[in-house]
């Protein structure tokens, strides 16, 4: 299992205006998890990353919007795969 600490290096940058951390590494960690598990569900990714399902869903949807993941609905469940 990949912990949040493994996803975001301790030297990550914080935006001075918003106070938010750069999410580049978090997206890379989500992509790595999907590659290991694919085809996979939101819940499986959340379990792998040890994060809340809403957090996983947000990152997965962002990656799908960027064209890096394919999202398919099967029986009220979203299946995620890399493109």
**Strand order, beta sheet including 40-41:** 40-41, 77-82, 69-74
pLDDT in tens, 70-83: 999 999 999 999 99
pTM of this structure: 0.71
pLDDT in tens, 3-47: 444 454 445 566 677 776 665 558 889 999 999 999 999 999 999
pLDDT given at position 73: 95
Domains of the chain in start order, with CATH, are: 4-82 (1.10.10.10)
Question: At 81, is the secondary structure helix, strand, or coil?
Answer: strand
DSSP single-letter state for residue 41:
E
């Amino acid at each position: 299992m990949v912990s949040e600490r493994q996803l975001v290096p301790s030297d990550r940058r914080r935006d001075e205006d918003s106070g938010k951390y750069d999410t580049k590494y978090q997206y890379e960690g989500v992509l790595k998890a999907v590659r290991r598990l694919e085809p996979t569900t939101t819940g499986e990714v959340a379990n792998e990353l040890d994060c809340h399902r809403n957090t996983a869903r947000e990152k997965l949807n962002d990656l799908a919007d960027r064209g890096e993941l394919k999202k398919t609905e099967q029986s009220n469940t979203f299946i995620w795969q890399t493109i």
